[in-house]
Amino acid sequence: MRFLVACDSFKGSATSKQVGEALKEGILRAVPDVEVDVIPVADGGEGTVQALVDATKGEFITVPVTNPIGEKVEATFGILGDGRTAVIEMAAASGLTLIPPERRNPWITTTYGTGELIKAALERGCRRIIVGIGGSATNDAGAGMAQALGIGLLDENGNQIGFGGGELSKLHRIDMAGLDPRAKEAEFIVACDVDNPLTGEHGAAYVYAPQKGATPDMLPKLDANLRHFAEVVRQQLGVDVEHTPGAGAAGGLGAGLMAFLGAKLRCGTEIVFELVGLEERVMGADLIITGEGQIDTQTAFGKTPIGVAKLAKKYNKPVIAVAGTVGKGAEVVHAHGIDVVFSVINRPMTLKEAMDDVQNLLTNFGEQLGRLILTLESMFKGRAS
């Protein structure tokens, strides 16, 4: 028998590779002659860089960048095993977690650091750049990112506009002449699993800016600034990003990547699965094991386990899902290809205890899963005879 373990990370406690390897160790304790193929996967959000670098035997690169409020921090991105594909999580440079709650303010926060990460990838020879967008502290439509790459976003006096969503109203002219020439040679792909437009009641400002520190009276101003940005882009670059699904992701970074770098937006799980060759490995497996830290009603909305399950069902493979916590409404995943859901928790414990002991919990669960499969196999063999 051949098992394929394709799990997302258990956020805050184990990477996708660590989850898979722990399950493999446990399974082999019980069924030493089974083949267990571990492939790290993710959905384009947090943990994607780690998963793809692990899966392709790539490398991590750490560079100094500008955080959302203009301070210097260290940020890491990945170069995959092919040496030419970079994977960037914009949250590493422009994320909400990089600044304390009392200093969060999308009127002034910038994506400049994300542009610096892209530039660092270009400097290392990467010409295919995948950007995972999510968890941002910004609402600047990728203006800071563009400025970091040499694009002029100029006011009526010919000066660069400042940082933040509050400055977009000053945008008068876009000067593409200074764009890093290496960026013109590169392919940009955006991992994006939301379909919000740039503006309007479902856009970047009204939906996401409040969690980034925007006050109620700030929202219509931020939205108006995004509309102005979109109009200037439409007139001067000939690109209409205002109503494109996904353009409003990460405070409009989706729009900026499309407008300035010609990026294509794609589903995060599809990108990851393609890069790790998941479909071929599913085809060769007898049982698929997937999972993430918590499985509940939200899992059905495009999370990694559902993506794995859909691919597995394409080839009529059974799917077992593993989680740290099985939450409310988890049963909905059965309608999306997951046959059985298990929690690795084997006794009453706190969340901290579970996170601290996650490796043992996963390994012990893997062993019990292996024993269950042996038991079922023996039972059916007995009936057949």
- List, for residues 83-124, the tens digit of each pLDDT value: 999 999 999 999 999 999 999 999 999 999 999 999 999 999
Predicted structure pTM score: 0.86
Q: Residues 146-173: pLDDT tens digits?
A: 999 999 999 999 999 999 999 999 999 9
Residue 298 has pLDDT above 60, yes or no: yes
Instruction: Give the pLDDT of residue 268.
Output: 87
Parts of the chain belonging to CATH 3.40.50.10350: 2-39+277-384
8 Å CB contact between 3 and 287: yes
Comparison of pLDDT for 297 and 260, the residue scoring more = 260
Domain 48-268 classified CATH 3.40.50.11610?
no
Cα–Cα distances in angstroms (integers) from residue 365 to residues 35, 75, 184, 360, 378, in the given order: 17, 35, 49, 8, 20
Q: Residues 12-32: pLDDT tens digits?
A: 889 999 999 999 999 999 999
Task: Look up residue 369 and give its two tokens.
Answer: 């899963």
- How far is Cα 86 from Cα 124, in angstroms, rounded to an integer? 9
Residue 385 has pLDDT above 60, yes or no: no
Could you tell me which residues come within 8 angstroms of residue 385 by beta carbon, excluding any fewer than 6 positions away?
none
Please, how many CA atoms are within 13 Å of residue 7, restricted to the half-sphere of its CB? 33
Instruction: Label residue 384 by pLDDT band (50, 70, 90).
Output: low
Which of these CATH numbers, 3.40.718.10, 1.10.340.70, 3.40.50.10350, 1.10.10.10, describes 2-39+277-384? 3.40.50.10350
Parts of the chain belonging to CATH 3.90.1510.10: 48-268
Helix axis angle for 16-30 and 358-384, nearest 10°, is: 40
- Least confident range from 38-47, 55-64, 225-234, 363-372: namely 38-47
8 Å CB contact between 267 and 298: no
Taking the CA atoms of 345, 349, 354 and 356 in sequence, report the sign of the dihedral they define. Answer: negative
User: In this structure, which amino acid lies at residue 17?
Assistant: K
Could you tell me which residues come within 8 angstroms of residue 141 by beta carbon, excluding any fewer than 6 positions away?
165, 168, 198, 204, 226, 229, 230, 251, 252, 253, 255, 256
Could you tell me which residues come within 8 angstroms of residue 213 by beta carbon, excluding any fewer than 6 positions away?
101, 103, 104, 105, 106, 137
Between vectors from CA 68 to CA 66 and to CA 71, what angle results, nearest 5°? 45
Mean pLDDT along residues 287-293? 95
Mean pLDDT along residues 265-290? 93
- How far is Cα 159 from Cα 297, in angstroms, rounded to an integer? 49
Instruction: Give the pLDDT of residue 36.
Output: 96
Strand 2-7 to 35-38 pairing:
parallel
